[in-house]
Structure 1
């Protein structure tokens, strides 16, 4: 993510992840995505480094899921994930 500011708004993060601000806010409030509150109005900011680390953790978790749940084709059975792709 070259040329990003050091700290991103939740809207910036949502745009980068192609998701909603509400989803990013939920990730922050659950503690999944580290963030800080700044200023008198308590605006949330996510550091670029924390976002990169979070994405790396997601990649690792996704790889583990794929390894633990191999895709089996040819038996005609469809998974929930396959249905979501359509």
Structure 2
């Protein structure tokens, strides 16, 4: 099977997301990031396609947040006040 692996460890996911393994574990345990638990030792794995779906969902959530909470910096507000 050439190319990237189908399944990633939580440490691999943490590296991709530039966060900690503990944060990734929390995402998995809360059900926000789909994962599977393997074997008697309970090793977690995240399918690469599920990680990409998760990231795409975060972009959608962020876009909705930004649309609902427009950014207004002090420079913009000062300019608008001066024009009024």
Q: Which TM-score tier does this pair reach, normalised by the shorter chain?
A: 0.7 to 0.9
Which one has a bigger Cα radius of gyration? 2
Unaligned runs of 5+ in 1: 77-86
RMSD, aligned CA = 1.1
Cα drift, residue 55 of structure 1: 0.4
Compute the TM-score of the two structures, normalised by the length of structure 2.
Answer: 0.83
Query: After the TM superposition, which parts of structure 1 deviate over 4 Å for at least 4 consecutive aligned residues?
Result: none
More helix by share: 2
Compute the TM-score of the two structures, normalised by the length of structure 1.
Answer: 0.82
Deviations 1:7-59 (A, max 9, x none): 00000000111000000000000000000001110100000010010001000
- Residues matched between the structures, number: 74
Unaligned runs of 5+ in 2: 79-84
